[in-house]
Homo-oligomer: A and B are copies of this chain.
Amino acid sequence: MTSDEQPASQRQRIDPYVGQYAERAVGMVASEIRALFAVAARPEIVSLAGGSPYVSALPLDSVGQMIGKLIAGHGATALQYCTAQGDAGLRERICDVMALEEIRAHPDEIVVTVGSQQALDLLTRIFIDPGDVILAEAPSYVGALGAFASYQARVVHVAMDDDGLIPEALTEAIARTTAAGRRAKFLYTVPNFHNPAGVTLAAARRPRILDICQRAGLLVVEDNPYGLLGFDGDPMRAMRADDGDGVVYLGTFSKTFAAGVRVGWAVAPAAIRDKLILAAESAVLCHSSFAQLTVREYLNTQPWLEQVKDFRELYRERRDATLSALDTMMPPGCHWTRPAGGFYVWLGLPDGVHAKAMLPRAISSRVAYVPGTGFYADGSGGQYARLCYSLPGPDRIREGIRRLASVIETEIELRDDFGPAPGNR
């Protein structure tokens, strides 16, 4: 019996509100790999899926003491509403953090957000009517694609190579969009230690990208969660440092302090900042004072920059474990990026092996990753997998990659025996 043949009463029991949702919500259905991720959280599985920072490295006792003192001394402020723009003292300290990437900003230019994710949501809310174009790297961060989709944006992917976004490909994508009678509202880019691609936009390309966008009147959204987590030398100069009018910069404390406080921020030109504040107010009234003052206090009283350096060394060790395991164990036909910072390696699979089709078998073999399909608006990318090395220790990483290599080898055998998996692209 198909659903068309079911009596109305029975269909109703499935979802009585099915005819009442907004157009944007009709396509909101749980991803098919979501159930697998619940399984992937089991301790026997090496999860290279996550994207979670290793917060256990924080000095939890002293952070706990600091917060206890904050509440006992300033609870009447920390437990109260604040303004939609966010705590002024925290915004001052955020300017110091951004100065490490050569950004000179004023606290007034900053809006504190519920992680960078809320900044992505609010920017999309402000700029995107259904069908409007957003240019974004191929692949792009899955959370950004989710925010873009929820406002019915049309994402046009722009090719990258090992030096990040390719300027010529951007020029071409803008021209193609214009030729199609559409206007791109902004370029979304993760220049440093890209999620998921693990590459970094070369310094020489940055002014070129800015120049192309300025000429096209295209706003740049520079999303930079990992900028301070580079393994070689000083942090790179942010694109925002060279263009205060054409770039909205997004930052977050999720990776340099704690994801669980959900404190991110946007730096935007005045008019956009004003709309971001109003949109934030209608979305959540205001951010948590409790979380904001905790971060402010952390920056004011704890050796936060030393902690960032500790995180760098920790993630460098895990990156090294990942790359040397991949070098040693992966079967021919695989290829991968070599990140100079951040959390991610982008693994290309042999021809005819599909990351989504392979995932259930990987989980049976007690290793998890995110299939590349999540990072393309059109669901392509099945020949890729994102490996995240931030959470498991080096030994676990090696074990996970050993298991994954063995799964891929089995897939290659299956492919040779039965042909490529369906849905492969």
Whether the pair B64, A285 counts as a contact (CB closer than 8 A) is no
CB neighbours (8 Å) of A79 from chain B are 55, 58, 60, 63, 257-261
Smallest Cβ-Cβ distance to A132: which chain B residue: B22
Copies of this polypeptide in the complex: 2
**Most chain B CB within a 10 A radius of its CB, from A28, A78, A128, A283:** A283
User: Whole-angstrom distance between the alpha carbons of A128 and B282 in the complex?
Assistant: 15
Q: How far is the CB of A19 from chain B (nearest CB, A)?
A: 9
Question: Which among A146-154, A190-198, A233-241, A405-413 touches the partner chain?
Answer: A146-154
Q: If A260-B82, A284-B115 touch, does A55 touch B75 (CB 8 Å cutoff)? A: yes
Partner of A18, one of B22, B271, B278, B279: B271
Q: If A121-B283, A284-B118, A290-B260 touch, does A20 touch B67 (CB 8 Å cutoff)? A: no
User: Whole-angstrom distance between the alpha carbons of A238 and B136 in the complex?
Assistant: 47
Interface residue A403 (Cβ < 8 Å from any Cβ of B): no
Q: For window 94-128 of chain A, which residues contact chain B by CB distance below 8 Å? A: 114-115, 117-118, 121, 125-128
User: Whole-angstrom distance between the alpha carbons of A69 and B213 in the complex?
Assistant: 50
Q: How far is the CB of A79 from chain B (nearest CB, A)?
A: 4
CB neighbours (8 Å) of A82 from chain B are 260
Interface residue A2 (Cβ < 8 Å from any Cβ of B): no
Q: How far is the CB of A150 from chain B (nearest CB, A)?
A: 4
Whether the pair A149, B282 counts as a contact (CB closer than 8 A) is yes
Q: How far is the CB of A181 from chain B (nearest CB, A)?
A: 16
User: Whole-angstrom distance between the alpha carbons of A277 and B76 in the complex?
Assistant: 31
Partner of A284, one of B52, B58, B117: B117
Whether the pair A262, B279 counts as a contact (CB closer than 8 A) is no
User: Whole-angstrom distance between the alpha carbons of A326 and B58 in the complex?
Assistant: 54
Smallest Cβ-Cβ distance to A78: which chain B residue: B260
Whether the pair A219, B64 counts as a contact (CB closer than 8 A) is no
Known A30-B278, A60-B71; further 7 A-B contacts with Cβ < 8 A: A17-B219, A30-B277, A60-B79, A79-B261, A146-B281, A283-B283, A290-B291
Report which A residues bind B (CB closer than 8 A): 14-18, 20-25, 28-30, 51-53, 55-56, 58, 60-61, 63-65, 67-73, 75-82, 114-115, 117-118, 121, 125-129, 132, 143, 146-147, 149-151, 183, 185, 219, 245, 254, 257-262, 269, 271-272, 274-275, 277-279, 281-291, 294
Q: Could you list 28 examples of A-B contacts with CB < 8 Å?
A: A17-B271, A17-B272, A22-B151, A25-B275, A25-B279, A28-B126, A30-B274, A30-B277, A52-B80, A55-B79, A63-B72, A63-B79, A65-B68, A68-B69, A77-B260, A79-B260, A79-B261, A80-B258, A81-B260, A114-B284, A117-B283, A117-B284, A125-B150, A143-B285, A149-B282, A150-B283, A262-B284, A262-B288
